Structure 1
Amino acid sequence: MHRVRKAETGDGKRIAEIQVGGWQSAYRGIIPDDYLNALNPEKRVTFWSQQADNESSDLFVTILGATVTGFCHLIPSRDDDGTGVAEIAAIYVDPCAWRQGCGRQLCEAAFEAARRRGASSVTLWVLEANLLGRSFYEAIGFRTDGSTKSEERPGFLLEEVRYRIDPSKREQDVTGDGH
C-alpha cells in the first residue's frame, strides 16, 4: 500500500524522474516525440530538491516501501484571479504505479494542505487533449471553470483548461464515487 508523506530534499532526483517519465507516458501523441525524448530529469533535480524546503508551498510524495512513486506540488495560485486560491502546479505518478490510488492520495493531501492554508478553492491546469488526466480529475470532483490558456513551446502550442474544486467540501478520504 502506498502512503503519503511530505517530500524531503533527497527526493528531488526521484521526483524529477517521475515528472519526465510522466510527461513521456501521458503526453505521447499530444506533444511532439522529439520534445518528449529530449526531456532530461537531471535538469529538474535542483528545482525539486529546493521545493521540498519551500515554506510557501507543499510538496507531497507517495511511497511504496522506500520508493517514491508519485508527487504533488501545491502552490499559491499563479493566476491573475487566484487570490486566496491554491494551485496544484504539478502532479505525476510513476506509470508503473498508475491506477493504484496514488493520485487520489496525493490530491487528498493537497486538499488538506489547502484547507489549512485557508484557500477558498484549488485549481489546476491540464492539457486539453489529456483525456486520461481530465477523466481522473473529474472522477475526484474537479470541474472546469471556463478558463483556458495557450503556452507556446518550440514548434508547438500547449492548449490548457483550468479545473477547480472547493477543498472545504471534500471528505477526508477521496473515493471518487461522489461520496
Structure 2
Amino acid sequence: MTEVGKATLADGKRIAEIQIAGWKEGYRRILPDDFLDGLNPESRVPVWERFIRDKKGVMLVARSGSELTGFCHLISSRDEDGNGVAEIAAIYIDPDRWRSGCGKLLFAAAVASAVQQGFTAMTLWVLAENSRGRGFYEAMGMRADGAGKTVERPGCTLHEVRYRMELSR
C-alpha cells in the first residue's frame, strides 16, 4: 500500500534519483541524448536537501512500504500572475512505478495541501512535447491556460506550457 507524507532530509538522495530516472525515461525522445546521459543524481541531492531543510513549500513523498516511489514539490507560484496560486514545481514517480496510482495519490495530496494553505488555484509547467505528462495532468483536471515559456539548458532549449486548475475550498 502506498502512503503519502512529508519528506525528511534522509529522502534527498532518493528524490534526486527518481527525478533523474524520470527525466531519462520520460524525455528520451524529447530532449537530446547527450543532455539526458549527462544528468547525474548526485548533483541534484544538495538541491533537494536544501528544499527539504529550508521548508520552501511542501515536499511530499510517496512510500510503498519502506521504498520511496515518488515525490511532489508544492510551492507558491513563481509566475508574475501567480498571486494566491500554488505551483507544483516538480512531481516525479520512479519509472518502474508509472501507472501504479502513485502519481494520483501525490497529486491529490498536493491539491489538499494547496487548499489547506488557502490557495485559490494550482499551476505547473510541463514540456510542450511531453504527451504522457500532459495526459496525466488533464486526467487530474488541469488544463493548459495559454501561457508558455522557453528555458535554456546546457545543450538544449525547453519549451514549456502552463497547466492550471481552480481549487474549491
Q: TM-score per shorter chain, which class?
A: over 0.9
Aligned partners of 1:157, 1:108: CA distance in 2, in Å? Answer: 31
Q: Which runs of 5+ in 2 are unaligned?
A: none
Task: Give yes or no for contact 1:145–1:162 (8 Å, CA) kept in 2.
Answer: yes
> Alpha-carbon deviations, 1:97-116, whole Å to 9, x = none?
11011111111111111111
Q: How does 1:61-72 map to 2 (within 5 A)?
A: 61-72=61-72
The alpha-carbon deviation at position 168 of structure 1 amounts to 1.9
What residue identity is the alignment partner of 1:105? L
Aligned partners of 1:54, 1:103: CA distance in 2, in Å? Answer: 24
The alpha-carbon deviation at position 53 of structure 1 amounts to 3.2
The alpha-carbon deviation at position 122 of structure 1 amounts to 0.5
Q: TM-score, with normalisation over the residues of structure 2?
A: 0.96
> Alpha-carbon deviations, 1:116-150, whole Å to 9, x = none?
11111000000000000000000110001110001
Q: TM-score, with normalisation over the residues of structure 1?
A: 0.91
The alpha-carbon deviation at position 54 of structure 1 amounts to 3.1
Task: Give yes or no for contact 2:145–2:162 (8 Å, CA) kept in 1.
Answer: yes
Aligned partners of 1:92, 1:38: CA distance in 2, in Å? Answer: 19
Matching residue of 2:133: 133
Distance 1:53 1:167, change over 3 A: farther
What residue identity is the alignment partner of 1:40? N
Distance 1:52 1:155, change over 3 A: closer
Q: How does 1:5-154 map to 2 (within 5 A)?
A: 5-154=5-154
SS at match of 1:75: strand
CA RMSD of aligned residues (A): 1.1
Identical columns (%): 54
The alpha-carbon deviation at position 50 of structure 1 amounts to 2.3
Task: Give yes or no for contact 1:112–1:167 (8 Å, CA) kept in 2.
Answer: no
Higher alpha-carbon deviation: 107-116 or 122-131: 107-116
The alpha-carbon deviation at position 153 of structure 1 amounts to 2.0
Task: Give yes or no for contact 2:35–2:156 (8 Å, CA) kept in 1.
Answer: no
The alpha-carbon deviation at position 47 of structure 1 amounts to 1.6
Aligned length: 169
The alpha-carbon deviation at position 46 of structure 1 amounts to 1.5
SS at match of 1:39: coil
Q: Which runs of 5+ in 1 are unaligned?
A: 170-179
Aligned partners of 1:17, 1:30: CA distance in 2, in Å? Answer: 20
Task: Give yes or no for contact 2:78–2:87 (8 Å, CA) kept in 1.
Answer: yes
Matching residue of 1:164: 164
Aligned partners of 1:76, 1:85: CA distance in 2, in Å? Answer: 6
